[in-house]
Chains A and B, each alone.
Chain A
Amino acid sequence: MKIILPCSTINMMSGDPVSISQILDQLCINPSEVIVSRNGKLVPEDAVAGGDDEIRIIRIAHGG
């Protein structure tokens, strides 16, 4: 599974099924501060990802 972090760095994770909130937890990211897409579609934190999914984590808390 491909994880695209808010800073655009790419992390590869095993394809075992895991919830989005578990992924965020592992990365120490607060779910209130991001939205997450799975293969380009927005998903809630209790959605499950796995296999070849592409997960993109987008930081929403911006200054300016």
Chain B
Amino acid sequence: MLCAEPPVIRLREPDRHLCAAHLIADVEKRAARTIRERELIKPHDRIAVAFSGGKDSTALLVTLSRLLPSWEDVSLVAITVDEGIAGYRDDTIRAAEEVTKKLRTEHVCISFTDLVGDDLDALLVGRETQACSVCGILRRKALSVAAQKAGATKIATGHNLDDEAQSVLMNTLRGDLPRLVRTSDADSSDCFIPRIKPLADIAEKEIAAYLFVQDLFPFLPECPYTRYALRLEVRSMLSAMEQKHPGTMRNLIKSKRAIEKHVGRRVMSEPLRRCRECGDPCSGELCQVCTLRKSLGK
């Protein structure tokens, strides 16, 4: 224990108990270290924070707002994507508005209806099992459109250590090597707004505790489409492994980085092309959004 205050969390690697104040300081210090070591934020950056109002993006926005004064001429804009999921998104959007108001952060919303003329519920009728992939493709596009419009130079997402480890395992299970070795740091691509993950070294449980002790934990409903996701099975398998064998998630990410270092460039050496429909950068003839639009008859 670092002080005499009552502990709120026990962390392993190294094994330690932290009180609320030390937990807050620890999370913010580690996020700042990730940003510094991976050079995620540079002077004059305008950061679009992908902000759903859920716990990870709330922790990201709170952390970045507090670190903001330590960077030269950096600004934040929170972007909320309204997919149009009945009984779910309205609550999270309300939560998002409250947080941005409290933090005095600029906030913009973009909806799937703005993007493709329909909400997710309508798009998924009869194809519910594809919910996460359809939503993921459109959400990335919506975020990118809104970030561009807001003049952002980076897009920050709230992916945490658990998310990163789950993605490594999911890409391995799917045999998707290009996606497995895609670099997780801000890249120098001229075609896309670089994406950054300042919370990638912080466990989901630490993030939840970080918010709870500040009365910022959002008690929100779960996305109704989650039950169709492969991630749900992977998450439960990995968290059981982590509990039994601490360090499992970190080791998975370490393995991914080692593979990335050795084969990353070779796997990713295919030149980027332009989508023949919309002109966006992509690897094939059509980008994922246009492929999806065609399959949806949009």
Contact = CB atoms under 8 A, between A and B. Distances in A.
Interface of A: 30-33, 35, 37, 41-47, 58, 60-64
B213 A42 contact: yes
Contacts of A47: 7
Interface in B199-251: 204-205, 207-209, 212-213, 217, 219-220, 222-223, 225-226, 229, 231-232, 235-236, 239-240, 242-243
B264 interface: no
B222 A62 contact: yes
A46 B10 contact: yes
B225 A63 contact: yes
B223 A64 contact: yes
A61 B163 CA distance: 10
B92 interface: yes
A30 B243 CA distance: 7
Nearest to B213: A42
Nearest to B6: A41
Q: Can you list the 5 inter-chain pairs with the closest CB atoms, starting with the nearest?
A: A63-B226, A64-B223, A44-B10, A60-B208, A42-B8
B192 interface: no
Contact of A64 (B6, B54, B219): B54
A19 to B, nearest CB: 11
A43 B213 CA distance: 10
A33 B239 contact: yes
Contacts of B71: none
A8 to B, nearest CB: 10
B222 A41 contact: no
Interface of B: 6-10, 17, 20, 52, 54-55, 88, 92, 162, 204-205, 207-209, 212-213, 217, 219-220, 222-223, 225-226, 229, 231-232, 235-236, 239-240, 242-243
21 contacts: A30-B239, A32-B240, A32-B242, A32-B243, A35-B9, A35-B208, A37-B212, A43-B6, A44-B7, A45-B10, A47-B7, A60-B204, A60-B208, A61-B204, A62-B222, A62-B223, A63-B225, A63-B232, A64-B54, A64-B88, A64-B222
A41 B204 contact: no
With most chain B CB atoms within 10 A of its CB, the pick from A32, A45, A46, A62 is A32
A64 B212 contact: no
A60 B59 CA distance: 13
B227 to A, nearest CB: 8
B205 A60 contact: yes
Contacts of B223: 62-64
Contacts of B88: 64
B115 to A, nearest CB: 18
Contacts of B55: 60, 62
Given A63-B229, A64-B52, A35 B212 contact: yes
Nearest to A62: B222
Contact of B92 (A31, A43, A64): A64
A58 B208 contact: yes
A42 B220 contact: no
B174 to A, nearest CB: 18
B17 A44 contact: yes
B243 A41 contact: no
Nearest to B92: A64
B239 A61 contact: yes
B6 A62 contact: no
